[in-house]
């Protein structure tokens, strides 16, 4: 007999219809291009198992991960040749694995291009670095024989400043356009979530939204189209009254000004609720429930003054609308998603 553990005291509710609606909105906003999906880092922390089938059923056909270790989780739901691995194949083991499993490496350097061809070649994608100086070949290497030898399906580049009104955007667009006729390819792809909002000239054949699928709003133009997807919730695991003058938490940073009812919530920085959340408020049915003192690894203590009827086992929600949560904590919307831990049910 196997003994099942009891349900966890924290959960990450995923609004699957919002996720599907966000992909459809980004696909529509991509105009004549189709939208793919960045599903790296376990769908930005929200779970490949939950999110990839929703994206696939919404109509998404192109999936991007960063690491080879991320392929099998996605390939359980979609054809491997529709999965692109952004870090490319940098050694023989990765190139052999790519070919065996059928996923596409995004070739990121002359070294990778040479290795790919020498290890057997075949269809691949190619990243051209138009200014972010991260991964990708420099545009002036387009004519190199090792690049010309590749069988390129999608020619990609990546915008550094798409979430800002920066001159970099037009510079990168021009550099990308200039390289397209120099390398044989089937399709072109430049824009991430924010890039989709920069205008039709940025969309090409395929867009690669990530953040906005999961509720992120990197540019105000997207705000009306994007819905919140991730809702962290946690249970009260203790409720008590503390006396005026007593302290709460590590380093005793909160001192009770009067006798007060407080609760301990099963949510801490090991779950991704970093100490930057100190001073924020949780919610229960419209009541604001402020965090008192420092965030611990596995818990926070909250002020139950406004919600006197709450008891052990009741659930609180963490306000996780990403633009507002980013303003509250100083964390980026990307960090807020990907930092979420693995103890959520």
Ligand X SMILES: *Cc1c(COP(=O)(O)O)cnc(C)c1O
Interacting residue ranges for ligand X, rule: CB under 6 A: 38, 40, 86, 158, 192-194, 208-211
Question: Which residue lies nearer to ligand X by CB, 158 or 294?
Answer: 158
Q: Where are the extended beta strands (E) located within the chain?
A: 10-14, 34-35, 37-38, 63-65, 83-85, 104-107, 123-127, 151-156, 187-189, 206-207, 230-242, 247-248, 254-255, 260-265, 281-284, 287-292, 300-303, 315-317
Which residue, judged by CB position, is nearest to ligand X in the bound state?
210
**262 near 287, Cβ under 8 Å?**
no
Q: Supply angle C-alpha 298, 210, 332, rounded to 5.
A: 50
Question: Which residue lies nearer to ligand X by CB, 103 or 211?
Answer: 211
What residues act catalytically? 40, 250
> Residue 136 CB, nearest distance to ligand X (Å)?
9
Question: Which residue lies nearer to ligand X by CB, 84 or 248?
Answer: 84
Q: Give the phi and the psi of residue 159 in degrees, each rounded to 5.
A: -80, 140
> Residue 158 CB, nearest distance to ligand X (Å)?
4
> Residue 322 CB, nearest distance to ligand X (Å)?
11
Q: Which of 190, 187, 212, 216 is nearest to 201 (CA)?
A: 190
Question: Which residue lies nearer to ligand X by CB, 280 or 337?
Answer: 337
CA distance 104 to 95: 10
> Residue 60 CB, nearest distance to ligand X (Å)?
13
């Amino acid at each position: 007999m196997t003994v099942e553990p009891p349900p966890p005291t924290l959960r990450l509710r995923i609004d699957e219809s919002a996720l599907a609606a966000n992909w459809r909105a980004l696909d529509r906003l991509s105009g004549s291009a189709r939208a793919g999906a960045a599903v790296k880092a376990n769908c930005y922390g929200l779970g490949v198992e939950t999110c990839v089938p929703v994206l696939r059923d919404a109509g998404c056909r192109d999936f991007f991960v960063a690491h080879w270790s991320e392929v099998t989780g996605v390939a359980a739901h979609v054809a491997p040749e529709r999965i692109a691995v952004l870090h490319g194949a940098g050694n023989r083991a990765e190139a052999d694995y790519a070919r065996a499993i059928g996923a596409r490496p995004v070739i990121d350097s002359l070294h990778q291009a040479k290795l790919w061809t020498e290890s057997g070649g075949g269809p691949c994608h190619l990243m051209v670095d138009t200014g972010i100086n991260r991964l990708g070949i420099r545009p002036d290497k387009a004519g190199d024989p090792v690049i010309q030898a590749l069988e390129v399906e999608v020619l990609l580049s990546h915008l550094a400043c798409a979430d800002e009104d920066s001159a970099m955007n037009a510079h990168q667009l021009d550099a990308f356009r200039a390289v397209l006729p120099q390398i044989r390819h089937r399709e072109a792809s430049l824009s991430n979530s924010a890039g989709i909002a920069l205008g039709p000239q940025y969309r090409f054949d395929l867009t690669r939204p990530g953040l906005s699928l999961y509720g992120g709003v990197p540019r105000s133009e997207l705000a009306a189209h994007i819905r919140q997807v991730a809702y962290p919730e946690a249970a009260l695991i203790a409720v008590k009254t503390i006396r005026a003058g007593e302290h709460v938490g590590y380093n005793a940073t909160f001192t009770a000004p009067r006798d007060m009812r407080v609760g301990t919530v099963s949510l801490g920085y090991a779950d991704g609720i970093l100490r930057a959340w100190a001073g924020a408020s949780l919610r229960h049915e419209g009541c604001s429930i402020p965090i008192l003192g420092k965030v611990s690894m596995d818990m926070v203590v909250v002020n139950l003054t406004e919600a006197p009827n709450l008891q052990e086992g009741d659930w609180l929600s963490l306000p996780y609308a990403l633009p507002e949560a980013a303003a509250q904590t100083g964390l980026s919307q990307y960090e807020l998603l990907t930092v979420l831990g693995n103890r959520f049910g």
